[in-house]
Structure formats: structure tokens, C-alpha cells
Amino acid sequence: MLFKRRESESIAERLRVHLWPRRSWNRSGRYVAYRLRRLKATPHAIALGFAVGVFWAVTPFFGVHVALAVALAWFMGGSIVAAILGTFAGNPLTYPLFWYSTYEMGTLMLGGESVHHPVDLSAGIFQGSLEQIWPILKPMSLGAIPIGLALAALCYVVVKPLVEAYQARRRRERELRSEREVLGTQ
């Protein structure tokens, strides 16, 4: 098969690449921006999809961000690819900030004080009961709503004009190129 690896990557290597890119964070960020600019959709759909992805990246539902973002973007009429790219806002550098801020916001919204009690996950998070992680998951889920909405709104307001400007520039460049080709053939 064309463009297939000679040796397939191990699961550990794939996991490492998801947590830390091969080249650099700068290159990965530029790639996401490049992919976002090249999408063929309306600026509203791209900005909405990206905002939906950012919203779900803030939530504590680690592991299902992409699925939730795709479903909501499809439901709202946003770009699914932009939603997937928006979930990249959640990464090892931003997750600690998201988790802390959503927990504190949720605790504030519940009217309680922030109680940092240890949670025993020695049996594993999936073997333990929901009662063990619920004191942390409940405020984080609640706090993710206003923080996620605020970040999503900010991303929508920033991304839409950028996409509009980029698409207008590309349209002008294509028109100039086609005019040059027409003039060159005459």
C-alpha cells in the first residue's frame, strides 16, 4: 500500500505521540491552524465547529471529547473537522488549568468551599465506584459549563473573522490567477 509505514507503530509510541508531538508544539499548532484555514465550509460553520470542540475540551469527560464534539457540531450545523481541531485546545499543557478552574468554578456554583480531599483510586478508576470520583466530577462538570461557554464564545468571535478574511483573500488570489491565465492565452 502506498504511504504505509514499513513497521507499524507500537501502542506505546502512538500514545506518546498523542501526548507529546514528534517535532514540536509550535509545528503542531501551525498544522492545526493550516487545516482550519483550508476547510471548505462557511466561516460561520467553521467557527461554530471550532467553538464546539473547545467547549468539549474544557469538560472533564476525558476520552470522549472528540465524539461529543462531533455529535454536537453535526447537530448544530457546524464543521465536524473544525470541531475535531477545536478539541486540540485540550492538551497536556492546558488540562491542569482546565481541571483546576472547572473544579473551583463548580464548587463556587454549588455554594461550597473547595475541599481537597484525597480520592482513593488504588483499585483503578473503572473498578472503583462512582461515589469515589463523584465529589470531584460533579463540580468539574458543572464548572465546565460557564468556562466552556466563555471560551467557546471567545473562539467563535476570533475564528470567524479570521476565516472570512482568509477565504476572501484566497478567492481574490484565484480570480487574479484565472485572469492572468486568460490574458496569457490570448
Show pLDDT as tens, one digit a residue, over the chain (186 residues): 466 777 787 888 777 776 677 777 788 778 777 776 677 889 999 999 999 999 999 999 888 889 999 999 999 999 999 999 899 888 888 888 999 999 999 999 988 766 666 666 566 656 656 667 778 888 999 999 999 999 999 999 999 999 899 889 988 998 888 888 887 766
Helix (H) or strand (E) holding 64: none
- How do the domains of the chain map onto residue ranges? 14-112+126-185
Helix (H, G, I), strand (E, B) or coil at 61: coil
Do residues 37 and 139 touch, judged by C-beta distance below 8 A? Answer: no
Q: What is the pTM of this model?
A: 0.73
CA distance linking residue 106 with residue 100, whole number of Å = 10
